Amino acid sequence: MSAPSELSSELRRPRAGSSGVRRRPSPGQLWSTATASVVLVGTILALIVAAGHEDPNFYPANPERVLNAFAYYTLQANLLLGVTAALLAIRPQRRSPLFHALRLHSMTGLVVTCLVYHLILAGQFELSPRAQLADIVLHTVTPIMAAIDWLLFRPRGQIGVRIAGWSLVFPLAWLAFTLARGPATGFYPYTFINVDQHGLARVLLNCLLVAALFGSLAFGAAWTDRRRPRGRHAGH
């Protein structure tokens, strides 16, 4: 091959790291995109149910129904999962401790939500088909997707005891807000924290049990993560 031909061939060959070369999304990015999409669908369904006054049992029949929808921990945890998943789909390599604390919380929070829902809350009310679908998406599908993402696609070696501790701030803040808001509005999103029905002592005991589950999952995740090789997982 002549020198000019070699030079021409070299110029046509894409260079590694060139901005003109588009990389295919990794399996982790595809999973994050799917997760964010499912969260969006479930959230829209829940808000349609709330705004449409379909189920007085699902959301109280008052003018604040849509606002009360956002008071549910389930919806807040799902929104957090959707945001962190969308950010990972855009740029998987994230080092911020705050981001990893929020991501850890979205996983542990939804696993707890799934367990509490299926062990305690499921079947208490008769729901419309649309409300049932929203329930399945937000209480079952997204927690499973969050757990799969954590197990298969998350970056390794990013979670320590400190981040696990910070991940517990969100549920504690939600609990404090909910217990303070309840007496003023008469609305408690879950029966097991309804002070009017059970009394403050029983509610605090219920919260202590759920908090123990949160802590076990968060610090258990940190313990296992510290024993993984540090760096990027193959999925991302």
How far is residue 236 from each of residues 26, 83, 149, 154, 210, measured CA to CA in Å? 6, 17, 10, 7, 32
Instruction: Return the domain boundaries, the chain.
Output: 26-226
Q: Of 1-15, 85-99, 216-230, where does mean pLDDT reach its minimum?
A: 1-15
Average pLDDT, the chain: 82
- For residue 10, the model assigns a pLDDT of 44
Query: What is the value of pTM for the model shown?
Result: 0.80
What's the pLDDT score for residue 54? 58
**Residues paired with 156 in a beta bridge:** 231
**Predicted local confidence at residue 209, as pLDDT:** 92
Q: What are the residues whose beta carbons fall under 8 Å from the beta carbon of 198, sequence distance 6 or more?
A: 192, 206
Q: How many percent of the chain have pLDDT more than 70?
A: 81
pLDDT band at 165; cut points 50, 70, 90:
very high
What average pLDDT score do residues 29-51 get?
92
pLDDT, position 57: 54
Q: Is the pLDDT of residue 5 over 50?
A: yes
Among 95, 93, 113, 100, CA closest to 39: 113
pLDDT at 70: 87
Express each pLDDT in 47-77 by its tens digit. Answer: 888 887 655 555 555 556 777 888 899 999 9
Dihedral sign, Cα of residue 26, residue 32, residue 35, residue 41: negative
For the chain, give the percent of residues with pLDDT over 90.
45
Least confident interval from 92-96, 115-119, 147-151: 92-96
